[in-house]
Amino acid sequence: MRRKGSTQEGRMPERKVAVVIPARNEEASVASVVSKVRTLHPDFDVIVIDDASQDGTAEVAGRAGAKILRAPIRLGYGGAVQTGFKYAYAREYDLVVLLDADGQHDPDYIQPLVEASDRYDLVVGSRFRGKASYKISFVRLVGMKLFSRIASAITGLELTDTSSGFQAVTRKAFTIFALGSYPVDFPDADTLVWVARHGLRVGEIPVVMHPRVAGKSMISGIGSSLKYAVKMPLAILVTILRIPTTQKGGDAG
Amino acid sequence: MILQVRIMSLVISVFFVVYVIWLVRNRKLRETDSFLWILAGLAIFVIAIWVKPLVLFTRLIGATYPVSVLFFGALMFLIFTSLWMTTRISELSEQVKDLAQTITLLSEERSRE
């Protein structure tokens, strides 16, 4: 990659990293997440995608030192994440770390995710690997395990937590999403399968997730659980049927 | 078919086509989108005047009543149109999302200047 000062003393080239935090009505928690990330990683850019929040999310996050991208209308979680990918693509970032604004994802695990991105093109922080302390409804747990199994079977990888939004995505991988399509509601196993089908390496490392600090989960209630149960198998099936685009314009290789 | 029914069908189809044209004239419907509906109106008109093809078609496919064939055809037409409409909505949603994302990125760029 053409980055100034990259070959000095044979050190690892300094990578341009964006921590992308999609947030909708998360004024109660977003500031603490942003400041913690900035304390731990002062050299990373923290970018909050404010998904047309009706509260002070943008102001609070801005004061905490994040760069704010403000969507004029609601994009949905996936739409907000994709905005982050598009931004990172245009601004020539090398790595995007995805992090939730609600405090579930511990910024302490950004470092291991970033380190693992040397080995993988997309790294997922899994709450089911290693010491799990995460409480979750039984129905959703079954769904998550099932779709992880399916995704593992397709990709030939060992995936345990495909619905985790705690990820490190390298330029090779986010270029696919920035230039192509990305699910608007809940990105899940389908995005991992899609990346794997492009011949990229998808991997997992253990992380610890906390209960939410505030707000409510994206998937709550019977309606959205049912929608999830119907949508996921379909999304995976369609992803298998689609033909991978050959890398256009991405910094591949 | 009974005469009254045919007259009623004729009147309705004429009103329907006139209404579609009125919508296009007042720019509430684009010409390209009106095409299908004008065709549907004309189909009702033709069937009301000239029943024979419907009867022949009924016999051809082995159905008993021309009316049920007509209903079945109309139902299929509606199902496929609503599926087509849904694809249009998907397409529009995708375009709106892309536009909103572009606006998001552009307004950030402007605020840096």
Residues of B with CB under 8 A from a CB of A: 94, 96-97, 100-101, 103-105, 107-108
Three-state DSSP class for residue A216? coil
**What residue ranges do the domains of chain B occupy?**
1-50, 65-113
Please state, in angstroms and as integers, the Cα–Cα distance from residue A75 to each residue in A12, A53, A78, B100, B104, following that order: 36, 11, 7, 8, 10
Distance from CA of A235 to the nearest CA of B (A): 15
Of B94, B97, B104, the CB nearest to A69: B104
Q: Which of A65-69, A184-188, A204-208, A214-218 has the highest mean pLDDT?
A: A65-69
Say yes or no to pLDDT of A12 above 70.
no
Considering Cα of A202, then A204, then A205, then A207, what sign does the dihedral take?
A: positive
Inter-chain touch B100–A79, beta carbons under 8 Å: yes
At A241, the pLDDT band (50, 70, 90 cuts) reads confident
Cβ-based contacts of A76 with chain B (< 8 Å): 97
Three-state DSSP class for residue A107? helix
CA-closest candidate to residue A109, choices A208, A203, A187: A208
Exposure string of A54-77, with b = 16+ CB inside 10 Å and e = fewer, is ebbbbebbbebebbbbbbeebbbb
Say yes or no to pLDDT of A249 above 50.
no
pTM: 0.82
What pLDDT is recorded for position A215? Answer: 59
- Spell out the alpha helix ranges (H) of B31-112: 31-49, 52-61, 66-112
At A248, the pLDDT band (50, 70, 90 cuts) reads very low
At A219, the pLDDT band (50, 70, 90 cuts) reads low
What pLDDT is recorded for position A33? Answer: 96
Residue A111: Cβ within 10 Å count? 12
Inter-chain touch B104–A67, beta carbons under 8 Å: no
Cβ-based contacts of B104 with chain A (< 8 Å): 49, 69-72, 75, 83
Say yes or no to pLDDT of A10 above 60.
no
* Cα nearest neighbour of B90 on chain A: A184
Mean pLDDT for all residues in chain A: 84
Which helix H or strand E contains A233, and what residues bound it?
helix A221-241
Of A67, A72, A181, the CB nearest to B100: A72
Span A13-241: which CATH code? 3.90.550.10
Cβ-based contacts of B107 with chain A (< 8 Å): 70, 72
What is this model's ipTM?
Answer: 0.80
At A134, the pLDDT band (50, 70, 90 cuts) reads low
Which single residue is written with the structure tokens 């977003």?
A30
Strand partners, A46: A19
* Cα nearest neighbour of B104 on chain A: A71
* Cα nearest neighbour of B110 on chain A: A69
Which helix H or strand E contains A23, and what residues bound it?
strand A17-23
**What residue ranges do the domains of chain A occupy?**
13-241
